[in-house]
Amino acid sequence: MANQYDVVVIGSGPAGYHAAIRCAQLGFNTACIEKWLTKDDKTVYGGTCLNVGCIPSKALLDSSHKFLEAQAHFADHGIKTGKVSVDVPTMLKRKEKVVSQLTGGVAGLFKGNKVEGIAGTGKVVAKGKVEVTGHDGKTDTLEARHIIIAAGSVPIDIPPAPVDNETIVDSTGALEFTEVPKKLGIIGAGVIGLELGSVWARLGAEVTVLEALDDFLPAVDRQIAKEAMKIFTKQGLTIKLGSKVSGSKVSKGNKKSVTVEYTDSEGEQKAQFDKLIVCVGRKPATENVVDASVGVELDERGFIKVDDHCATNVEGIYAAGDAVRGPMLAHKGMEEGVMVAERLADKKTQVNYDLVPSVIYTHPEVAWVGKNEEELKEAGIDYNVGSFPFAVNGRALAANDTDGMIKLIADAKTDRILGCHIIGPSAADLLQQVVIAMEFSSSAEDLALTMFSHPALSEAVHESALALHGHAIHIANRKRRK
């Protein structure tokens, strides 16, 4: 007889484990299926984010930043360290420890909330039925009133540079280098490419980023993207825009390298690297997750079609996270998972898709939310802009961390905040202050009239709001208007 549940969740990444835990909290008998295995064949929860995505990459970003600080900037503070070296294997062990703590934490949360974790691969075979194939090949069938698909995403492969997991790797393989490559090539100047490039450049690699598009960070406000390009180039990243990769060839022998062929504005080019990272984006991992006979609709790119509340076209089946439309961001999936759980309990929870924050965890960080100037101009909306540089922020100066700026945009008629764009120290955390303000429909004046502690990086948020109306205290006011 099939095992029966109120809710079965497929996938335990951010969308899946949030959905499962919240369902259990709301009184639903809940199971969560996870196929991920460690190198020693143990089931772990957390999906891509905790195992090979957000968390391990941030661990390496933090470690590499500390190395760079010790190597190049401690002396500015009067701290003498002598020659500083890097131990990559130890750095990787620390990364694995962080991952283990967090994935083990999800397992503990499942236990504490009475979510049943099931090891194996889940597939929806009928309305209300999920087939689980264990790692031993045996199958079982689960019955559920509600099914939530949170299958996540996988890296996109490109024919000109097939991943061999040795010389040519994807974002997962780039977290496992046991030594610093002398010359590192990266295909794709997006979030993942810039973050991974930053890690290995700080540790001493000569990094070249090949980007097919002519624009750098096209989703980012142009002024912020231009500033980011300048800073990253200064940090040692060689970013080649308009460079379309056409082929690659891995050399033979013990010491392998890869020659990449690409075309830019000057014609056909070649470049040789010790390692090549392919990070041109991700695609939904929805293949074989739902049997075609069930009738769940997918779009041409493999995303499961859902409405604003993550319901599919089949009653009782929902999908959230990277498997559905919208930005592939862990926090977006988390909120969707919780929303689905609460709507199953007849709560009217919604996700505000207009306020999904985006962050690139380089140093300085790049973060943004809402509309940028280019979008507002195209829409014909009149707006005001206030900006403030970290170069004159007391806390940033004290920390010797002054690159970047904050840019706040508000409606010219209503003064309602329409967007915020930051490049600078702790940009992700500073942006969140504005996200909260925007969630409550705050005006720029609301922020300007709010008291901020001193000295703090967040004072730059305050000053950008003041600058929007020409009232900034610590810079000459140059009110900008469309």
Kindly list the catalytic residues: 454
458 vs 136, 267, 419, 463, 474, CA distance in Å? Answer: 53, 46, 16, 9, 14
Q: Which residues contact 306 (CB under 8 A, 6 or more apart)?
A: 312, 318, 319, 320, 324, 325
375, two tokens: 């979008």
- Separation CA 246–CA 352 (nearest Å): 40
The distance from CA 67 to its chain's CA centroid, rounded to whole angstroms, is 23
3-state class (DSSP) for residue 102: helix
373, two tokens: 């100037």
Please measure the distance between the N-terminal and C-terminal CA atoms of the chain and give it in whole angstroms.
67
| Longest Cα–Cα distance in the chain | 75
What's phi and psi for 292, nearest 5 deg?
A: -55, -30
C-beta of residue 368 within 8 angstroms of C-beta of residue 419: yes
Judge if the upstream peptide bond of residue 181 is cis by omega within 30 degrees of 0.
Answer: no
What's phi and psi for 303, nearest 5 deg?
A: -75, 140
DSSP string, 35-68: --B-TTS-B--SHHHHHHSHHHHHHHHHHHHHHH
- Separation CA 157–CA 168 (nearest Å): 11
C-beta of residue 28 within 8 angstroms of C-beta of residue 51: no
C-beta of residue 166 within 8 angstroms of C-beta of residue 256: yes
3-state class (DSSP) for residue 317: strand
Neighbour count for residue 439 (Cβ, 10 Å): 11
380, two tokens: 């014909």
C-beta of residue 46 within 8 angstroms of C-beta of residue 32: no
C-beta of residue 432 within 8 angstroms of C-beta of residue 442: no
Strand partners of residue 284: 153
- Separation CA 32–CA 130 (nearest Å): 11
Neighbour count for residue 166 (Cβ, 10 Å): 11
C-beta of residue 17 within 8 angstroms of C-beta of residue 45: yes
391, two tokens: 């170069």
141, two tokens: 């069938």
